[in-house]
Amino acid sequence: MASRREFLQKAGLSTLAISLPLANSFGKTNEIKNDQVLRVAIMGLGSYGTRVAEAMKDCKRAKLVGVISGTRSKVEAWQQKYGIPAKNCYNYENFDQIKDNPDIDAVYVITPNSLHKPYSIRVAKAGKHVICEKPMALNAVEGKEMVDACKAAGVHLLIGYRMHFEAKTLEVVKRQREGAFGKTLFFQGLSGFSIGDPTQWRLNRELAGGGSMMDIGIYSVNGSRYMLDEEPIWVTAQEVKTDPVKFKEGVDETITFQMGFPSGAVASCLSTYSLNNLDKFFLNGTKGFAEMQPSTGYGPIKAWTNQGPIEAEHITHQTTQMDEMAAIILDGKKPIIPVDGEEGLKDMVIVDAIYKAAKIGEKVMLG
């Protein structure tokens, strides 16, 4: 717990970051040959940061070259395990110095949600590309600040939407866009699991910005948009809390929410920290359907349609994600489903509306 307190104390310094010379620009990165590797530093060496690091061992276009952490023992362990040079190791107080390190191209921010904005902006001001884990921020206002800061710095802002590159997901999206299911009119997204340790940061409002919606529920928000290929125009929502001790004020346990789309399609979704076996997407149209379960877990993903199962090789999601993000940054590649800051901001606008709708008990219009 001492390291976490130090972590949060140091976070307060983040807003004091000053503008620094740029090390990269969109123009330069788009000129790079497609055999170049994106050199990445991971910020936040917890369980998910470790998962990304392990996945990057198999990347062809991305390489782990640096670390940023407030815990010296973790830095030392990663140095030894991944062969990271001392000059590429930073803490939360001094990582602005990466501006002077030509061996780091991008930083993947994998910290508690409340630190995504301040640390991403500091990375951008240091002239490095930003990859930020989802949700990109605590709310849409913060998300817009991140987008604006990265644009001003001339660096990419990408959000860690690994499912946007997953083969079976992309096949369902392709078929939907080709009209294989007819006019798609309904999406169901069930996102949840039974969360454990009540003292973890995900159940701390100051760190997480909420509860299940900010962690697992955003998959259904995001999934409804790319599965229906539309942006919602209204939301309604209802919150249920069965354990007010574990899920304190401002930390949502379960939220059911609905969204309406311009075509007339509707989405019905569930976000919860109290139930397992809920990782499911269902898309229904006038000519067919697609179903995925599990739909967003680490895999393998299982998917089928009215025509039968969808088959594709399972590749570790984070491996594919980092290679594809390298292609976006280095080659200017345009992904089928966007992963840029604007994409993350759209989700934050919807999440804000869901929380508002649950609070006031009324439909909230978007746009």
Catalytic residues: 134, 219
Strand bridging mode 234-240 / 184-192: unpaired
Residue 201 to residue 179: CA distance in whole angstroms: 43
Strand bridging mode 234-240 / 129-132: unpaired
Residue 45 to residue 318: CA distance in whole angstroms: 15
What phi, psi does 278 have (nearest 5°)? Answer: -120, 15
Closest CA to 119 of 137, 101, 139, 135: 137
Query: Which residues are CB-neighbours of 279 under 8 A, at least 6 positions away?
Result: 190, 191, 192, 193, 293, 294, 295, 296, 297
Residue 22 to residue 272: CA distance in whole angstroms: 42
